[in-house]
Amino acid sequence: MKKIVTVIGARPQFVKASVVSKELRKKFKEVIIHTGQHYDKNMSDIFFEELSIPKPDYNLGVGSGSHAYQTGMMLIEIEKVLIKEKPDYVLVYGDTNSTIAAALAASKLLIPVIHIEAGLRSFNMNMPEEQNRVLTDHISSILFAPTDDAVNNLSKEGINKNVFNVGDVMCDSVLFFSKQVKKNNIGLIPIYEEKKYNKWYLTTIHRAENTSNNKNLCQILKTLNDLDELVIFPVHPRIKKMIDELENENHYQNIYFVEPVDYLTMLYLTKNSKKVITDSGGLQKECYILNVPCITVRDQTEWVETLNNVYNILAKPEYNDLYKKIINAKINDKNKINYYGDGNASKKITDILSKEYFQ
């Protein structure tokens, strides 16, 4: 049986692995490396438990640091494992520092790289994620793109060989796990009981462009605080520290700050929210799939299809623009197109790998 080493390290990658590993293991031997990029219980362990992700065979415990430190430490540690395991392929997801570190370590050992979620572009090279995804695509041997747009982006950069549009693996997870979401199995203290609300806005903000200066973060928080319903904000640990330094969280009476939540709780909160305000890539797409209006606090999005029919609107981190767009957001759902597939991307990936590459 051929061997694939999968490298994951950050929250969205755990969600993707939960559906892909299940399929891959029907045909391949899979070894999982967790880089340790995300290490808090709520950012990591909880996902492995709830989504039944196979326990990592290696945890590198790299943790936090500057981009160079984090990526460099991963590169060194991943290389050691690859030399020992001698896999036929290395599989990576998305655009994090764990992705580029694994792709680079494999590529230098001449181990072919499989990139899932290839071809996405924001065309903003100031984003660490854009640097990671462009570089990873160019050193990958097999590229699984989630949409036609992603395939076109690769083609414009001269990458045409071994590119497959299989649909989006995150769509697989949304469709699969949505069925398991019930009020009584959500991990959070039920909001409707504690705060007597049954509708809310949901927000997640963590991108460098919105959080590296206090001005943008303050404008976003002030806007959320002025909305007409409660705003639930599961806060990334880094942003929690920043908010604590800025103001006492009681300053924002209309914002309910909670610890990062597990995946089923997040799906529950998303499905039942009035609107979502975010800068996360994955959440924009989950909103599209679940028919929830999304306001994305960024200048551009990699998931350009979500902008059609006003499912998703881009907004600036400025009070007037953001407030107006949140209040006015309304989906025009005539002619909704299913851009992200039918929930079978993981199966298609496994079939293509086993039929075309591992004869």
User: For residues 166-195, which are near ligand UD1 according to CB under 6 A?
Assistant: none
User: Which one of 9-17, 76-84, 138-146, 193-201 is the stretch in contact with ligand UD1 (CB under 6 A)?
Assistant: 9-17
Our CB check for ligand UD1 shows the closer of 199 and 238 to be: 238
Binding of ligand UD1 by 11 (CB under 6 A) = yes
Residue type, 238: R
Q: Nearest to residue 132, comparing CAs of 181, 77, 92?
A: 92
Binding of ligand UD1 by 71 (CB under 6 A) = no
User: Which one of 7-15, 170-178, 266-274, 316-324 is the stretch in contact with ligand UD1 (CB under 6 A)?
Assistant: 7-15
Residue 242, sorted as left (phi over 0), alpha (psi -120 to 50) or beta, turns out to be alpha
What is the DSSP code string of 317-342?
A: SSHHHHHHHHHH-----TT----S-S
Binding of ligand UD1 by 121 (CB under 6 A) = no
Residue 350 · residue 26 · CB < 8 Å: yes
User: Which one of 4-12, 77-85, 337-345, 349-357 is the stretch in contact with ligand UD1 (CB under 6 A)?
Assistant: 4-12
**Which of residues 8, 12, 292, 343 is near ligand UD1 by CB under 6 A?**
12
- Characterize 287-319 residue by residue with b for buried, 16 or more Cβ atoms within 10 angstroms of its Cβ, and e for exposed: bbbbebbbbbbbeebbbbbbbeeebbbbbebee
Binding of ligand UD1 by 38 (CB under 6 A) = yes
Residue 350 · residue 344 · CB < 8 Å: no
User: Which one of 6-14, 102-110, 226-234, 307-315 is the stretch in contact with ligand UD1 (CB under 6 A)?
Assistant: 6-14
In eight-state DSSP terms, residue 140 is -
In eight-state DSSP terms, residue 253 is T
**Which of residues 6, 18, 35, 97 is near ligand UD1 by CB under 6 A?**
97
Binding of ligand UD1 by 130 (CB under 6 A) = no
Alpha-carbon dihedral 191, 194, 195, 198, rounded to 10 degrees: 40
Here's the x/- map for ligand UD1, 207-246, by CB under 6 A: it reads as ------------------------------xx--------
User: Which one of 8-16, 77-85, 144-152, 242-250 is the stretch in contact with ligand UD1 (CB under 6 A)?
Assistant: 8-16
Binding of ligand UD1 by 352 (CB under 6 A) = no
Is 251 among the catalytic positions?
Answer: no
| Catalytic residue (choose from 34, 67, 138, 206) | 206
Binding of ligand UD1 by 301 (CB under 6 A) = no
Binding of ligand UD1 by 122 (CB under 6 A) = no
Residues 6+ apart with CB under 8 A from 130: 95, 121, 122, 123, 124
Report in angstroms how near the CB of residue 106 gets to ligand UD1 at its nearest. 17
Q: Nearest to residue 303, comparing CAs of 333, 282, 332?
A: 282
| 156: exposed, middle or buried (Cβ count in 10 Å: 0-12, 13-18, 19+) | exposed
The set of catalytic residues is 206
Question: Binding residues for ligand UD1, per CB under 6 A?
Answer: 10-12, 37-40, 43, 64, 70, 95-97, 128-129, 206, 237-238
